[in-house]
Chains A and B, each alone.
Chain A
Amino acid sequence: EIVMTQSPATLSVSPGERATLSCRASQYISRHLAWYQQKPGQAPRLLIYDASTRATGIPDRFSGSGSGTEFTLTISSLQSEDFALYYCQNYDNWPPLTFGGGTRVEIK
């Protein structure tokens, strides 16, 4: 099973600042990586797939990069609605499909 490790666990950022979230795969997954945002009491929402393609309706302040084992989600200028939990998910050569442990982006 491919293990997904996210860092940091918590990221404290001021509104308007840039946030950089990391996700590492335990083995090579090409670009088969998705990012999700989850707010309290809600289901996860797809943000990015294929490592860097924004899902429908996702603002362009969200961007993804990386390939192989190292991936990054960048939020260029944090808005109040962006403070949430973020998860990465591997879908290379599944099953299984695996998620990272999450990064909480909180207001500094």
Chain B
Amino acid sequence: QVQLQESGPGLVKPSETLSLMCTVSGYSIGSGFYWGWIRQPPGKGPEWIGTIYHSGTTSYNPPLKSRFTISMDTSNNQLSLKVGSVTAADTAVYYCARQEGGIFDVWGQGTVVTVSS
């Protein structure tokens, strides 16, 4: 049974770079599927950030593309999300999820990120 677990710093200062990790168990991420990152600001709906394919190719939500970088480490079975020059608008719960095509069928529990000085 595949499981995903996000981890991150919790609190980040404005203008800094945010680094998040997603550890996948029960499936080798390089074997197949797509793997996505989604965020959810307080009181709002989910927002797709981007997806990395098992081949390593990435696809991003156009408004976010310039500051967000998704990568994968198949040896440790982990996904990574980096967000540059964060602002208060990046405050959200960040989720990683397995994708079957465009469908998010397995989600991590999420990690809360607050941007504040």
Pairs A–B under 8 Å by Cβ, sample size 12: A34-B102, A34-B103, A36-B104, A44-B95, A49-B103, A94-B59, A95-B62, A96-B62, A97-B36, A97-B48, A99-B45, A101-B44
Contact A43 B61 (CB under 8 A): no
Report, nearest first, the 4 A-B pairs whose CB atoms are least far apart.
Answer: A91-B102, A43-B107, A97-B48, A99-B46
Contacts of B110 in A (CB 8 A): 43
Chain B residues proximal to chain A, CB less than 8 Å: 36, 44-48, 51, 59-62, 95, 97, 100-105, 107-110
Instruction: Return the chain A residue nearest B106 by Cβ.
Output: A46
Interface of B is mostly: strand
Instruction: Return the chain A residue nearest B110 by Cβ.
Output: A43
Instruction: Return the chain B residue nearest A56 by Cβ.
Output: B105
